[in-house]
């Protein structure tokens, strides 16, 4: 199949999980989503990642984000793994893990890469917006844990830039100055959108304070 790309509609599916049968688009509703895959249960890096995700529940909720994980092992094995995650990571898992034993979701999301493994999924993460469009794809090596500060940072950037005519510069984080998109040139519209003013370092590089996000 063709690999998913940014802007593609995230494939819908129905699959078993640790929280029952899930129809993905219906489960996502009007929320943003973070779908991330794991090659197998009881793997050390993934254990820490699932624990970290559980601890970030309030941060995801503040951003209207639902998290959902995937592994090709069955539900009963997932539940045994969750007990380990809760015990070793000092948390309570609070999001579903898909049981993709038939590789249905893995195939839809192009998670089986033969050069990495012919049976296990690669460690990819997808950010999906409320319109069910794929907005970010990151694939990690098995030895490197995901940076959840970066995942939250990207969500902050996407939500801010969807709402306002801005982009976020290198190393930007919530609250930092942003740049005005080059396509916005009308002086009256600029003053309307950015009454706080801006610093035009170059005609195409205009810094301004980050606009307030909708509550």
List, for residues 42-60, the tens digit of each pLDDT value: 999 999 999 999 999 999 9
| Residue of 147, 157, 11 lying closest to 70 (CA atoms) | 11
Cβ–Cβ under 8 Å, residues 85 and 51: yes
Domains along the chain? Answer: 14-146 (3.40.30.10), 164-208 (no CATH)
Catalytic residue among 35, 46, 67, 125: 46
Summarised one tens digit per residue, pLDDT across range 104-130 is 999 899 887 655 554 556 789 999 999
Cβ 98 vs Cβ 69: under 8 Å: yes
User: What are the residues facing 206 on neighbouring strands?
Assistant: 200
Judge whether 112 and 72 are in contact, CB under 8 Å.
Answer: no
| Token digits of residue 191 | 């003053």
Q: Is the pTM of this model over 0.85?
A: yes
User: How many CA within 13 A on the CB side of residue 21?
Assistant: 2
The first and second tokens of residue 100, run together, are 């993709």
| Per-residue buried b or exposed e for 107-121, using 16+ beta carbons within 10 Å of the residue's own CB | ebbbbbeeeeeeebb
Instruction: For residue 46, indicate whether it is catalytic.
Output: yes
Is the pLDDT reported for residue 74 higher than 80? yes
């Amino acid at each position: 199949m063709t690999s998913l790309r940014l802007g593609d509609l995230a494939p819908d599916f129905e699959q078993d999980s640790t929280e029952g049968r899930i129809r993905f688009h219906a489960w996502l509703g009007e929320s943003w989503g973070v779908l991330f895959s794991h090659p197998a249960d009881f793997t050390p890096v993934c254990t820490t990642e699932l624990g970290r995700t559980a601890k970030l529940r309030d941060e995801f909720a503040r951003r209207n984000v639902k998290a959902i994980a995937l592994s090709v092992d069955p539900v009963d094995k997932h539940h045994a793994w969750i007990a380990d995650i809760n015990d070793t990571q000092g948390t309570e898992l609070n999001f579903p893990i898909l049981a993709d034993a038939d590789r249905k979701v893995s195939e839809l999301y192009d998670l089986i890469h033969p050069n990495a493994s012919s049976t296990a999924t690669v460690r990819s993460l997808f950010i999906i917006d409320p319109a069910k469009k794929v907005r970010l794809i990151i694939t990690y090596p098995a030895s490197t844990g995901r940076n959840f500060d970066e995942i939250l940072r990207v969500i902050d950037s996407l939500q801010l830039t969807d709402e306002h005519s801005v982009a976020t510069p290198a190393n930007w984080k919530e609250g930092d100055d942003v740049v005005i998109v080059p396509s916005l040139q009308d002086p009256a519209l600029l003053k309307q959108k950015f009454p706080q003013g801006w610093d035009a370092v170059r005609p195409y590089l205009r810094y301004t304070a980050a606009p307030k996000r909708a509550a």
